[in-house]
């Protein structure tokens, strides 16, 4: 295993934290970004807000100083939802979700690319959602932002694929988080009935897919969408 310099955006909680912890446990040098600049026990953070180009630049500069070299693996995980029915969705709610989930991921990939090109190695992993390709009522903004990541990864692949850089999308389905735990039991049951695996995923199961895509062994996988959804979407 080659130890890499890894930056996980929004790694202070939820799925991002699980990804950062799994990467660190595997022997990589890991930093997370958090908006507060704080990190959970055992992880190290740089401050960063993905909606702000200068803040992304500052986070990468701090990371490069910490690593003593370029960011080799970037996991664009930071994301938000602002659900609402199409007829009533405000411009602000649409734009805020696109700005964080899609433009935020673009800003990180763009900033990471220079160092990766120089190094002739890079792994860019975008955390999308089953909702990106499957759709979701009340989630036009979220779904559009998450499917946009597919075009982003595939265009990066065509642009930088010859330079040792891969760009892939991981599309989680329902993940065991505080959010899903709070759903009423009958709703949880209905969701689980629609999932071929019959259960929600653990954050660690999402992290395992990211860990593989970041590895040397995954050098020939790029522009792919890897679902971690128990068969809910099956690529749709
Ligand atoms: N949970 C699921 O079931 C599920 C399913 C499919 C896909 N996903 C995707 O997986 C990713 C992580 O989800 P999660 O459930 O772990 O979410 P979460 O617990 O709500 O965490 C979201 C993370 O994103 C960060 N973030 C939000 N806006 C940001 C900004 N402008 N700049 C920097 N960081 C920002 C948050 O930072 P703060 O702590 O500062 O708010 C937090 O660290 C998201 O992209 C989400 O869309 C989740």
Cα 162 to ligand 1 centre (Å): 31
Query: Can you give the pLDDT at residue 113?
Result: 98
From 82, 58, 50, 63, select the one nearest 20 (Cα to Cα): 63
Q: Give 223's DSSP letter.
A: S
Give Cβ neighbours of residue 72 (< 8 Å, ≥ 6 apart).
Answer: 4, 5, 6, 115, 116, 119, 121, 122, 123
C-alpha to C-alpha distance for 226 and 142, rounded to whole angstroms: 18
16-50 pLDDT, tens digit each:
999 999 999 999 999 999 999 999 999 999 999 99
pLDDT of res. 187? 82
Question: Quick check: is 234 in a domain?
Answer: no
229 part of a folded domain? no
Is 220 a catalytic site residue? no
Please report the pLDDT score of residue 5 as a whole number: 98
* Residue 233 counted as domain residue: no
Pocket test for ligand 1, best of 20, 35, 79, 200 (most atoms within 8 A of CB): 79
Structural contact between residues 173 and 233, judged by C-beta atoms closer than 8 angstroms: yes
Examine residue 95 and state whether it is found in any structural domain, yes or no.
Answer: yes
| Phi and psi torsions of 195, nearest 5° | -100, 120
Residue 235 in domain: no
Distance 147 CA to ligand 1 centre (A): 16
Structural domains counted in the chain: 1
What pLDDT is stored for residue 204 in this prediction?
97
Establish if 126 belongs to a structural domain: yes
Which pLDDT score is estimated for 104?
99
Residue 230 lies inside a defined structural domain of this protein: no
Q: What's the rounded Cα separation, in Å, for the pair 142 and 155?
A: 20
Q: Mean pLDDT over all residues of the chain?
A: 96
Whether residue 40 has its Cβ less than 6 Å from ligand 1: no
pLDDT tens across 57-73, in order? 999 999 999 999 999 99
**How does pLDDT run across 128-172, given as a tens digit for each residue?**
999 999 999 999 999 999 999 999 999 999 999 999 999 999 999
- Average pLDDT of 200-222? 98
Residue 232 is assigned to a structural domain of this protein: no
Specify the pLDDT at position 182. 80
pLDDT computed for residue 226 by the predictor: 98
Q: Is 183 in the pocket of ligand 1 (CB under 6 A)?
A: no
Write down the pTM of the prediction.
0.98
In which element (H, E) is residue 65 found?
Answer: helix 53-67
- Report the pLDDT value the prediction gives residue 181, as an integer from 0 to 100: 82
Is the minimum distance from the CB of 50 to ligand 1 under 6 angstroms?
Answer: yes
Residues spanned by the domain of 201: 5-223
CATH code assigned at 70: 3.40.50.720
pLDDT digits (tens, 9 = 90+) for 95-129: 999 999 999 999 999 999 999 999 999 999 999 99
């Amino acid at each position: 295993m080659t130890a890499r310099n890894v930056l996980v955006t929004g790694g202070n909680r939820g799925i991002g934290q699980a990804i950062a912890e799994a990467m660190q446990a595997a022997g990589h040098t890991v930093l997370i970004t958090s908006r507060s600049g704080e990190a959970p026990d055992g992880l190290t953070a740089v401050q960063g807000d993905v909606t702000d180009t200068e803040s992304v630049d500052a986070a990468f500069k701090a990371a490069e100083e910490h690593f003593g070299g370029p960011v080799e693996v970037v996991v664009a995980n930071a994301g938000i939802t602002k659900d609402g029915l199409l007829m009533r969705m405000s411009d602000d709610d649409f734009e805020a979700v696109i700005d964080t989930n899609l433009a935020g991921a673009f800003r990180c990939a763009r900033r990471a690319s220079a160092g990766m090109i120089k190094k002739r190695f890079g792994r860019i992993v975008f955390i999308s959602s089953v909702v990106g390709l499957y759709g979701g009522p009340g989630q036009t903004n979220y779904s559009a932002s998450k499917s946009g990541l597919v075009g982003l990864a595939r265009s990066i692949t065509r642009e930088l694929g010859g330079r040792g850089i891969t760009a892939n999308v991981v599309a989680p389905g329902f993940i065991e988080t505080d959010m899903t735990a709070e759903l009423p039991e009958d709703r949880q049951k209905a969701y689980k009935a629609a999932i071929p695996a019959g259960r929600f995923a653990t954050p660690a199961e999402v992290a395992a897919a990211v860990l593989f895509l970041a590895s040397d062994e995954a050098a020939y996988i790029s522009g792919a969408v890897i679902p971690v959804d128990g068969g809910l979407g099956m690529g749709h």
